């Protein structure tokens, strides 16, 4: 079983934008058109959250972590925690022993963008760096976006997802998103339909109870849940 990543969710900062754009391009190519993160960073109707490491991580560290996870699964052993190997390090060695450059290192694992429209909070994008997918980062960003929407006063949250993205559907359904319609040929790369999903009301005691339980389950599964919206 893969180990939790030492990431926390916070508001987007100016120095994060280049990394967020790179993740956006990776996730949404060939449809990628850069979002105006810098222009809308202080827009009170927009909410940009990032999942970040406390320190920069080199690609070599992530590849090594993935290799350790795979070997540990074969050996039925628990791999050493990534953070225990990288915390406090000022440079990161590549495979040839040289220190990685600032362009190679990163500390943003993923991001989510939300727009507030009346009583609705709409997730426009949610993406995780490819090498870090399947490690709970996307769900942590979803939890952060829901907490921010509840704090903002939104009554529901909505999004679109590819009809073929069953992994995402299952995660959204867990948080009470339901399919309410289809946008035909929504994605221009392959003319795939998008399913429109919306939550039950998120400003109710019933939803708060569910949401609290889901956050507890997440923390039990991944060991931590640090969110500052």
| Active centre residues (catalytic) | 160, 172
Q: What would the two tokens of residue 101 be?
A: 């450059």
Residue identified by tokens 């109710």 is: 204
Q: What would the two tokens of residue 55 be?
A: 């320190």
Please state, in angstroms and rounded to a whole number, the distance separating the CA atoms of residues 221 and 128.
19
Q: How far is CA 194 from the centre of its chain?
A: 20
Phi, then psi, of 200 in degrees rounded to 5: -70, 165
Phi, then psi, of 115 in degrees rounded to 5: -115, 135
Please state, in angstroms and rounded to a whole number, the distance separating the CA atoms of residues 25 and 123.
17
Please state, in angstroms and rounded to a whole number, the distance separating the CA atoms of residues 70 and 136.
17
Q: Which of 97, 115, 79 is nearest to 5 (CA)?
A: 79
**3-state percent helix, strand, coil for the chain, nearest multiple of 5:** 40, 30, 35
The helix (H) or strand (E) run that includes residue 150 is: helix 137-152
């Amino acid at each position: 079983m893969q180990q939790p990543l030492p990431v926390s969710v916070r508001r987007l900062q100016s120095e994060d934008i280049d990394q967020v754009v790179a993740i956006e391009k990776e996730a949404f190519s060939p449809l990628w058109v850069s979002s105006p993160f810098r222009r809308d960073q202080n827009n009170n109707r927009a909410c940009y959250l990032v999942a970040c490491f406390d320190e920069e991580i080199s690609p070599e560290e992530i590849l090594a972590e993935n290799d350790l996870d795979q070997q540990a699964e074969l050996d039925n052993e628990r791999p050493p925690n990534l953070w225990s190997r990288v915390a406090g390090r000022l440079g990161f060695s590549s495979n040839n022993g040289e220190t990685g450059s600032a362009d190679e290192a990163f500390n943003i694992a993923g991001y989510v963008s939300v727009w507030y429209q009346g009583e609705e909070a709409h997730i426009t994008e949610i993406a995780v760096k490819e090498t870090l997918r399947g490690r709970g980062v996307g769900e942590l960003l979803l939890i952060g976006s829901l907490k921010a929407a509840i704090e903002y006063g939104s009554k529901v949250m909505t999004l679109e997802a590819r009809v073929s993205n069953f992994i995402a559907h299952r995660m959204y359904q867990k948080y009470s998103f339901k399919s309410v319609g289809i946008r035909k040929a929504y994605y221009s790369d392959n003319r795939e339909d998008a399913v429109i999903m919306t939550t039950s009301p998120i400003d109710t005691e019933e939803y708060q109870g569910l949401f609290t339980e889901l956050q507890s389950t997440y923390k039990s599964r991944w060991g931590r849940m640090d969110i500052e919206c």
